[in-house]
Amino acid sequence: MIKPQFNPFIGPSSYMLINMGARWSPCMHAIPNVQNATQPISWPCPNTTTYDVNAPTMQCTLSELCGFGGVPEPWYNATATMENVPEPNQWWRFITPMFLHAGVIHIGFNMLLQMTIGREMERSIGSIRFFIVYVSAGIFGFVMGGNFAANGMQTTGASGALFGVIALLLLDLLYSWKDRKSPWKDFLFIALDIVIAFVLGLLPGLDNFAHIGGFLAGLALGICVLQSPNALRRRIGDQPPYSQVVDTNGFLRQGAPPSFFSNPVGFFKGRKLLWWVWWLVRAAFLTLAIVIFIVLLNNFYVDHKECSWCKYLSCLPVKDWCENGILDIQTHDVPADKLKRNLAFAALEQSPNLQAFFA
């Protein structure tokens, strides 16, 4: 029987989002029991509206579900192993999900943050710095989710990137603490936002790893791109905040230090020891972020090591919530009520258990 799938965020189904470019591991690297399966596997089609596993729209190939020109199909024979089978590699799914959302409500919440804290931060630090942190935090969040989230979860949304912006807000507050009129009030406001978001990320349908990864990336890159802390800047005679360095016409104000690109030698000339120490700290955080990013990518594509307890950072151990999103490939019939329950669960940042069936 054909039935519509209801997405509470008023948007496409999970399978359509996968086909549109959501982060979904089976389209990105080899998955045990998928690439080395010995029997053909049928997947839900992007346009499916039924829970009947025998329906034509539940009989798509992995390549048809992934889209974008498809992926190498598993061999489906006894010679297939995880070492010799062709591996999917739609790496761009670490990037495209930032521009996809589960529905109108999802993008509405993200746009609200984008047009408030995002706009103010971009005005403060400039579009280039904001773009670097925003995109990097979003990608880092999806890479972290790819390593630690369940292998059947599809992830979309700009929440990881926005958590990077929240990290910038926190750093900006700490850097200008003594110059704030009510720093503790500002801190409690930011802390409350962070706590609420992370707690909500423990509920089914939210990928907390994207939030955590975006926030950590925002902290590391924020130290690299934000102005020096006000107290340190006064001691070393560093430039005033970004908003005061450039006038309304885009030119350096009188007394501001020369730009690195216009005068590299003059930029470093006469700097105090504390200035060099702070730049070494910045370089260390940038190096750390790059190293962790490479390690996570290597683990995703090569090592495939799993963390047994990390899932509890994104779920509460009640009502099998932590089992949600695990790719469930079965060779036997699944009761219709169970299948309906699994497929009907729409998600903000991830999808429910995705059932696949041997044909």
Number of other residues whose CB lies within 10 A of the CB of residue 303: 10
Q: How confident is the model at residue 97 (pLDDT cuts 50, 70, 90)?
A: very high
CATH 1.20.1540.10 assigned to domain 94-228+270-303? The reply is: yes
Is 14 catalytic? The answer is no
Q: How confident is the model at residue 324 (pLDDT cuts 50, 70, 90)?
A: confident
| Selection from 74, 68, 158 nearest residue 358 by Cα | 74
* C-alpha triplet 6, 10, 16: angle, nearest 5°: 70
What is the DSSP annotation of 202-271?
A: TSTT--HHHHHHHHHHHHHHHHHHSPPPHHHHHHHT----HHHHB-TTSPBPTTPPPPTTT-HHHHHTT-
What are the pLDDT digits (tens) for 218-272? 999 999 998 888 888 888 766 555 444 334 444 444 444 555 566 666 666 777 7
Catalytic residue among 211, 228, 314, 351: 211
Residues 207 and 198: their CA atoms lie apart, in Å, by: 10
Mean pLDDT for the chain overall: 80
Residue 56 has pLDDT above 80, yes or no: yes
| Domain extent listing, the chain | 14-91+323-358, 94-228+270-303, 238-269
Residues 274 and 232: their CA atoms lie apart, in Å, by: 8
Compute CA 128 distance to the chain's CA centroid, rounded to the nearest angstrom. 20
Pairing, β 23-24 against β 355-358: unpaired
| Selection from 88, 154, 144 nearest residue 307 by Cα | 144
Predicted local distance difference test score (pLDDT) of residue 134: 96
What are the pLDDT digits (tens) for 128-158? 999 999 999 999 999 999 999 888 888 999 9
Gap between the terminal Cα atoms of the chain: 19
Residue 318 has pLDDT above 70, yes or no: yes
* Mean pLDDT to the nearest integer, 333-343: 43
Phi, psi of 104, deg, nearest 5: -65, -45
Catalytic residue among 14, 159, 314, 351: 159
Is 124 catalytic? The answer is no
Predicted local distance difference test score (pLDDT) of residue 299: 94
* Mean pLDDT to the nearest integer, 39-68: 86
User: Which residue do the tokens 């926190």 mark?
Assistant: 170
From edge to edge, which strands make up the β-sheet containing 328-330?
41-42, 355-358, 328-330
